[in-house]
Amino acid sequence: MSDGRIDFLYLNEKDMIEAGVLDAGRCVDVMEEVISLMGKGDYLMGGPDHNAHGLMLEFPKKSKIQGFPLEDSRDRRFIAMPAYLGGRFHVAGQKWYGSNGRNRAKGFPRSILMATLNDVETGAPLCYMSANLLSSIRTGAMPGLVAKYFAKDKVGTIGIIGPGVINRSSMRAFMAKFPDIHTVKMVGSTPESKTAQKMKSFIEEHFPQVSDIRICANVQEAVKDADIVCEAASVTYPYWPELKYEWLKPGAVVISTNGLNISWEDELKFSKVVDNWGMYEEYAQEDGDEFHPDGTRKNAGTIGEDFVYMVKDGLIQRDDVKNLADVVNGNVTARENKDEIFLVSIEGMPIQDVAWAYECYHAALKKGIGTMLNLWEKPYAL
């Protein structure tokens, strides 16, 4: 970029694969850097407290505007997720996506994602890239990072709740960091669900060292004796999968990326961890103090928000919930004893997208991958 000229790199999905977007082990390491920087305050996200997940545009079911697209479907929305990440990254960026439940009938994934990186000083675009794989891999890398710090030394059995795209990505991360995993038990919507069968085939193809793969009839069967339990069920309240503390083995780590139906009495028994306490506080502010008929506070779908409400109601203290960054940065101890059972809330954050996009962008530059596009030779003077 010189004399006013701006060029930027475009990376399609094939380019992203060549640039290493599927390298789950490397992504876990990059997410560790991200969480460390977050713990040091070297980041910005949206919202007044710089901790917002993003800004969502949701389509109404009814509108008085003539011609407004009212044909409704599940998950019809757009989300902008901007962020700045410091450290060696020192870059701004955004993940942007549109989602529509009817997409699958057209041969598209439910959500179509793109990511942009921008120079922090000038705002000039650096790269525009396909982000479906990027988003999936960085999401799956976070359970891998949690397991690295909180799981016991020997991990042999994984319990999967919701064997879809996110947990397939999580399996990549788990296997990269715990290559001795020999058993995977999973539960989908039904024992015959296509997602469970697809997960089984995925593990057989990519991780032949896993000798025991079971599709279970219920959650209790799937989590029994599991060292790590990873939930990524694509359902909303009140359909979250039920989980009871008594079903888990001593020392287990439960990672929730969406929502679990756990009684607050049981939640009190867990050692609690979140990826970003401030983000869940923002969720709680947005949702207000509404209550369910059973007297518990209205929950937007994350265990982390449960923890915020429990602190507000005096059931626990703020110090009872560990921030993952404090563990990564060595400020607090991860595991106090071998029998602790952890409940960890993980939500996507745009700083993670920016970091993995940055890593793929620089790998692409180094390998000569992608297409350079010209924004302008010289900006037009109005």
Give the model confidence (pLDDT) of 163-184 as tens digits: 999 999 999 999 999 999 999 9
Neighbours of 106 (CB within 10 A): 7
Encoded tokens for 322: 């560990």
Query: Are residues 300 and 151 part of one domain?
Result: yes
- What share of the chain has pLDDT > 90, as a percent? 70
Query: Are residues 306 and 245 part of one domain?
Result: yes
d(CA 109, CA 132): 9
| 98-106: average pLDDT | 85
pLDDT at 189: 81
* Residue 334: pLDDT band with limits 50, 70, 90: very high
Q: How many CA atoms lie within 13 A of 123 on its CB side?
A: 0
pLDDT at 133: 97
Report whether pLDDT(235) > 80.
no
| 257-271: average pLDDT | 90
| pTM of the predicted protein model | 0.92
> Per the domain annotation, does 382 fall within a domain?
no
Query: Are residues 39 and 66 part of one domain?
Result: yes
* Residue 1: pLDDT band with limits 50, 70, 90: very low
Query: Are residues 168 and 181 part of one domain?
Result: yes
Report whether pLDDT(53) > 80.
yes
d(CA 16, CA 118): 18
- The answer to whether 301 touches 258, Cβ cutoff 8 Å, is yes
> Per the domain annotation, does 139 fall within a domain?
no
- CATH number of the domain within which 181 lies: 3.40.50.720
pLDDT at 69: 63
Query: Are residues 310 and 325 part of one domain?
Result: yes
Neighbours of 125 (CB within 10 A): 18
Query: Are residues 61 and 117 part of one domain?
Result: yes
pLDDT at 301: 62
**Domain, as residue range, for 105:** 6-134+351-376
pLDDT at 332: 95
Report whether pLDDT(344) > 90.
yes
Residue 377, helix vs strand vs coil: coil
Q: In what order do the strands lie in the sheet with 183-187?
A: 212-215, 183-187, 157-161, 228-231, 253-256, 342-345, 271-274, 321-323
Query: Are residues 359 and 307 part of one domain?
Result: no
- CATH number of the domain within which 73 lies: 3.30.1780.10
295 CB-near residues (< 8 Å, 6+ apart): none
Report whether pLDDT(102) > 90.
no
Q: Strand 55-58 and strand 212-215: pairing? A: unpaired
Over the chain, what is the mean pLDDT? 91
Query: Are residues 223 and 85 part of one domain?
Result: no
- The answer to whether 347 touches 279, Cβ cutoff 8 Å, is yes
- Please name the residue that has the structure tokens 């180094």: 366
> Per the domain annotation, does 365 fall within a domain?
yes
pLDDT at 187: 95
pLDDT at 358: 98
47/325: higher pLDDT: 325
pLDDT at 302: 82
In DSSP terms, 372 is beta-bridged to 9
